[in-house]
Structure 1
Amino acid sequence: MKKFLLMTVAAAVLSTSAAFAQIIVRVAPPPPIVEHHEHERRGYVWIDGYHRWDGHRYTWVHGRWDRPPRPGAVWIPGHWDARPGGYAWIPGRWRY
């Protein structure tokens, strides 16, 4: 039983630390592509597209309309952040 408990705790700690790991890309991201989207959709927020690093090069992820998870939520866009040795992706998120 102790062994099982220890393994469970170790797995939880390792999975949590992996979630905070960031990949540093040495190549600067290209400028964002300006996407033209249809008129405003009631109850939805436009989330801009972004360049994603696929391990070899940047690929464009198209923007999309998304419904906020709750009233008053605001979308904080993701962005590439300059770090020592390269760039790290900071994902977008909803702020409540």
Structure 2
Amino acid sequence: MKNPRRSTRWFTLRTLLPAIGLSLAALLEGCVPVFPGPPGMGMVVRAGPPPPRIELVAPRPYAGAIWVPGHWSWVGRWQWYGGHWARPPHPRSRWVPGYWEHRGRGWLYHRGYWHP
């Protein structure tokens, strides 16, 4: 006679192992090594960002509003952050957009900022 405990354990392992393997494969598929960049720069990612998206810019909502274009950011995967209208900190300020620079074996993100 078969031991019922052993057959249950075998059934559990037989069904769980493929699920565990698929889960690990899904997790590791999107892995791109990330390491901190120079101070004030942002992060460095091994794989470059996708091409920028074409954005439809809505009409200026108020006088003095400045368009801040969208950008790609690495958050465990590439995530697009859409552009928006913003109020500058000073009347003569202008927005200098962030950009990705290919440097060495990775891509370094330079954050956007308001220029006085």
For this structure pair, what is the TM-score category when the shorter chain's length is used for normalisation? 0.7 to 0.9
Aligned position for 1:68: 88
Aligned position for 2:59: 39
Shift of 1:36: 0.3
Aligned position for 2:15: none
Change (3 A) 1:19 1:27: closer
Q: How many residues align?
A: 78
| Structure 1 gaps, min length 5 | 1-17
Corresponding residue to 2:103 among 75, 83, 92: 83
TM-score for the superposition, normalised by structure 1: 0.74
Q: Distance in 2 between matches of 1:81 and 1:94?
A: 19
Q: Distance in 1 between matches of 2:48 and 2:38?
A: 23
**What do you get for the CA RMSD once the two structures are aligned?**
1.9
Q: Alpha-carbon deviations, 1:46-79, whole Å to 9, x = none?
A: 100000000x211000111100100110110000
Shift of 1:23: 2.5
| Structure 2 gaps, min length 5 | 1-36
Tell which structure's C-alpha radius of gyration is larger: 2
Runs of 4+ in 1 over 2 A off after TM superposition: none
Tell me whether 1:20 sits opposite 2:35 in the alignment: no
Change (3 A) 1:37 1:73: same
Q: Report sequence identity in percent.
A: 35
Q: Distance in 1 between matches of 2:43 and 2:67?
A: 27
